[in-house]
Structure 1
Amino acid sequence: MPPLMHGTLPMTARLEPWMESLVQDPELCKELLSDYGSPLNVHDYSSMARNVAELRDAAAVHDIDFQIYLARKANKTLGAIDKAVAEGCGVDVASFNELDQCLRRGVSPESLIVTAAVKSRALLKLAVENDVVLSLDNTDEVMDLLELTTSDGTPVPVALRLASSNAAIAPTRFGLSAQQWLDFFAQIHSPEVFSIVGVHFHLNGYSGEQRALVLQESLEFADALAQLGHKVKFVDMGGGIPMSYLDDSQQWSGFWEALAEVPEGDESLTWKSDRLGATGPQASTALYPYHQELIRGPWLEKILIARGADGSQTVGQMLNARGIQLRCEPGRSLLDGCGLTLSEVAFTKERNDGVSLVGLHMNRTQCRSTAADFLVDPILIKASGRHANDRSPYSGFLVGAYCIEEELILRRRFEFPQGVAKGDVVAFPNTGGYLMHIIESASHQLPLAKNVVLDGANASLDDIDQVGAGH
């Protein structure tokens, strides 16, 4: 059956079976929105087991010690924590509340790591009190820790965030070079306060080749720390593990090829001919590659078989030779297939120059990450009732609730071959990783979207939306 909604140039989403069942049940979708409001984030975490297994299977081939930590910032639900722990994963936290909720949820301290880019004193204190590993980013954080701890207590477990010195790696705001760390710790007179148990790094983008290079650099840093008496137990390569929202590579490449040819001011594909970050110096950071060929397990496999500069050992062999665990902190890749967002159509109208608009009961922060746009096609679910049969083909843009001209839910143009009407439902597939929560806003005092966990036709609020969430 042809879709009821698609981009002028389609980008067809890959759907999990539970998503297909939900969007084929208009009455359930309407009931959920009636009960919990629009928009609504719907979760089913069953896909996480498959995603975890793909990574673990790749690591097992090389017989390396390997652990996965769910990037909590990618999805705020407590159900995601529960599922990650049930799958034997740890959790990467980035704030006091994230750490506090995990501890209250019963996540063991040894299964947690704090990687916050900016760490409050309260966060540092909570981590120290619970013996949770802290990934230290800079020397000011070290000095804060020295003020919070004493040399007669248990050493604080820390990982040092490494900023690569490799000229092939782009500059980063995260961490310090190995030499900066070594010079700093050589000057500290209370080294017994710290137990340096790990090396951690954060790379922008999704390059496996770059991660292989920085993993080798991290292992060399671990060797230098060992000479100072520190036993490094793990190297953590952070997140950025690829996954793919689309199965059709030609749809993905074809869209960008066509968009590059659109004249300025032509709105046949995007609002005001928006290039969606595809041009200019910031293009690489403005776009998330919604179609990728090499994902999860095969991507990790290429890293582990990469060889060092002298060609004598692979990355996997280097890890094994040192007895060092490899860790990673996926967000999207673990949450692939775990979430979908529903929204109700509020109105249809025309801009005063005749461009057609479809208004939704949501705002643009509720289906958006830090990338330029959400680049898969939503799904239209027709409502029954008085608007069901009064329809004609429609072409236009999705707009939201904020009182600004640029309040676009998505900036691509969409086609509705059988029309669209007030009361219909628009489903945004695969929004569980970053797209629901990372920049959501309650501006205008509009409420944040509720989060429900779906079990067949039964839905229940996630505990994050209950009174006293996480306590």
Structure 2
Amino acid sequence: MGLTGADTPAGTGTEPPEGYADTVAAPVPAHRDPWEQGILGDPRILGDIAFAVGGPFHLMYPPRVAANIREFQEVFTRSGVTGAVYYGKKANKAACVARACATAGAGIDIASTGELVAALSQGVTGPELMVTGPEKSGELHWLAARHGCLIAVDSLGELERLAALDIPVRILLRALPAASASRFGMTDGELDRAVAAAAEFPSISLEGFSFHLSGYDAEPRAELAGQLLRRCLAARTQGHPATTVSIGGGFGVDYVSAADWSDFRARVNRRWFHSGRTFESYYPYAFPEPGPAMLAAILHSDDLAGRLRRSGTTLAIEPGRALLDRAGSTVFRVQGAKTRHEHGRPYRILTVDGSSLSLSEQWFGSEYLPDPVLWPEGPGTPTPTVVGAATCLESDMLSWRRIPLPRPAADGDLLVYPNTAGYQMDSNESPFHELPLPPKVVLSETPDGRYRWALDHPCR
């Protein structure tokens, strides 16, 4: 059922009831790259993929990953800073992303033997891998050391276990940020003892220090990087190379326009959501200095770039989501719909052929807000719509918000959720109800501007 006007209940022809306008959810359209416009404007390719796959699927466009890597690298070049980009692999499992890293000159941040092997299989070499995570397994230590990976050490005990391998090991020491309640990293006193202990182990090469901070602020990262830079200088006086500081990830992504995001935040209320659902927080979907611009702000703060240059120190970063910005989308097929009424207004509940586990913002207790695109696009009556999964769980909703779709969705239509490559797709997926996991479909562009597709494959 559609709506006859922005603020009028469909088909009533009367004035809306008091407070009715509060039930009209603001649209939150996503930024759209040319490749996405091309796919949505193609009359066949999405339908052909959906027919061939027979269920939901994820689209991946590797050239965008390579472009994002280059933008970070260009910031380092303009700043005159030696930089190293490591892709946070946990953000997406696609083999095509690891291959894009190999071809674009980026390393990969991994935390398991599976991730290590997957990165190697796509051409990323051992010295280009950084191994992170707490109290890593002996198997991971051994394999990483054999391949010459850089290992971020999380504790004194882990350092001792690496030394016991009695093979050359390159390490960073991970710092616990001051006043942090994190379970990761070492205190100042533990770092002091680890630096001294590393000097006693001939197989250990202490190459620097690392940290991770939550949130998306540039200044605290620059401040802590400066502190670890001073630690590098002190470690050099004890005979350690100590030429690298890694500041982790947390580089924001700009999903939607600032105006649309401001309108959403100003007007959002529980009447916009199915069953009055509320959320305590959302990702900052409009980000003023995203990705590379945030890196530039970090380097500018407190003359960090100048201090790195003068000391001959490399700054390493480990972005995940930011390297996947606009590099993929997730597609579901509409299986059916029903109409419900709330606050004097009708809205539709769609069921699609997948699960919210393939749209994983709910793992933060939140909702993925960039509007999905209804395909095929066409004229119609604006229709508020929520989206549920094809499971028997009441809570399995892809979109609780009554999204203002441009027309009523019909069985067989596709919903394309934009910009889902960074953490939304595959982080939480499981074969619930024995449903198959959605495959990843890799897109490539031909010289004449057409798009082709193939399934992502670890051996491709």
Q: TM-score, normalised by structure 1?
A: 0.85
Distance 2:153 2:407 in 1: 55
What corresponds to 1:99 in structure 2? 116
1:289 maps to 2:284:
yes
Q: Tell me the equivalent position of 1:321.
A: 310
Q: 1:352 to 1:146 in 2, by over 3 A?
A: farther
| Maintained 8 Å contact 1:163/1:176 | yes
Would the alpha carbon gap of residues 405 and 26 (structure 1) be closer, same or farther in structure 2, given more than 3 Å must change?
Answer: farther
Secondary structure of 1:204's partner? Answer: coil
Distance 1:61 1:377 in 2: 35
Q: Measure, in 2, the Cα distance between the counterparts of 1:189 and 1:108.
A: 27
Q: Letter of the aligned partner of 2:368 in structure 1? A: F
Residue 221 of structure 1 and its aligned partner are, at CA, apart by 1.7
* Structure 1 residues 143 and 122: alpha-carbon distance in aligned structure 2, compared to 1, 3 A threshold: same
The change in CA–CA distance for 1:29 and 1:325 in structure 2 (over 3 A counts) is same
Report if aligned partners of 1:368, 1:436 keep a CA contact under 8 Å in 2.
Answer: yes
CA RMSD of aligned residues (A): 2.4
1:409 offset after TM fit, Å? 0.5
Greater relative contact order: 1 or 2 (C-alpha under 8 angstroms, separation 6 or more)? 1
Residue by residue over 1:223-277, the C-alpha shift from the partner in whole angstroms, topping out at 9 and shown as x without a partner, is 232232211121111111122011x212112212212xx3xxx53x123333322
What letter corresponds to residue 252 of structure 1 in structure 2? W
Contact 2:99 2:123 in 1 (8 A): no
Q: Which aligned pairs between 1:262-301 and structure 2 lie closer than 5 A?
A: 262=269, 266-267=270-271, 269-278=272-281, 287-301=282-296
Alignment-derived partner of residue 374 in structure 2: 380
User: Deviations 1:352-380 (Å, cap 9, x if unpaired)?
Assistant: 98763100111001112443121100000
Alpha-carbon contact 2:332-2:352 (below 8 Å) kept? yes
Which residue in 2 is equivalent to 1:311?
A: none
Letter in 1 for 2:354: M
Matched, 1:161 2:174: yes
CA–CA separation in structure 1 for the residues paired with 2:382 and 2:76: 50
Identity in percent: 28
Go from structure 1 to structure 2 and tell me whether the alpha carbon gap of 1:188 and 1:379 turns closer, same or farther (over 3 Å shift).
closer
1:88-237 correspondence to structure 2 within 5 Å: 88-147=105-164, 149-150=165-166, 153=167, 155-165=168-178, 170-186=180-196, 190-237=200-247
Separation in structure 2 between the aligned mates of residue 49 and residue 17 of structure 1, nearest angstrom: 15
Amino acid of the structure 1 residue aligned with 2:369 = L
With over 3 angstroms needed to count, the CA separation of the structure-2 counterparts of 1:428 and 1:120, relative to structure 1, is: same
Which residue is 1:361 aligned to? 353
Q: More deviation in 187-196 or 339-348?
A: 187-196
Q: Which consecutive unaligned segments of at least 5 residues does structure 1 have?
A: 1-5, 279-286, 308-313
* 1:462 has 2:451 as partner: no
> Deviation at 1:393?
5.4
Distance 1:446 1:440 in 2: 10
Specify the alignment match of 2:3 in structure 1: none
Q: 1:179 to 1:226 in 2, by over 3 A?
A: farther
The equivalent position to 1:12 in structure 2, one of 29, 48, 55, is: 29
Q: Secondary structure at the match of 1:413?
A: strand
**Mean CA deviation greater in 107-116 or 190-199:** 190-199
- The one-letter amino acid paired with 1:232 is A
Whether 2:298 is the aligned partner of 1:303: answer yes
CA distance in 2 between counterparts of 1:423 and 1:159 reads: 52
Q: CA deviation at 1:67?
A: 1.5
Partner of 2:102: 85
Offset at 1:49?
Answer: 3.4
Question: CA distance change for structure 1 residues 202 and 409 in 2, over 3 Å: closer, same or farther?
Answer: same
- Counterparts of 2:126 and 2:353 in 1: how far apart (Å)? 40
Q: What's the TM-score once normalised by structure 2's chain length?
A: 0.87
The Cα shift of 1:96 comes to 1.0
> What residue identity is the alignment partner of 2:417?
F
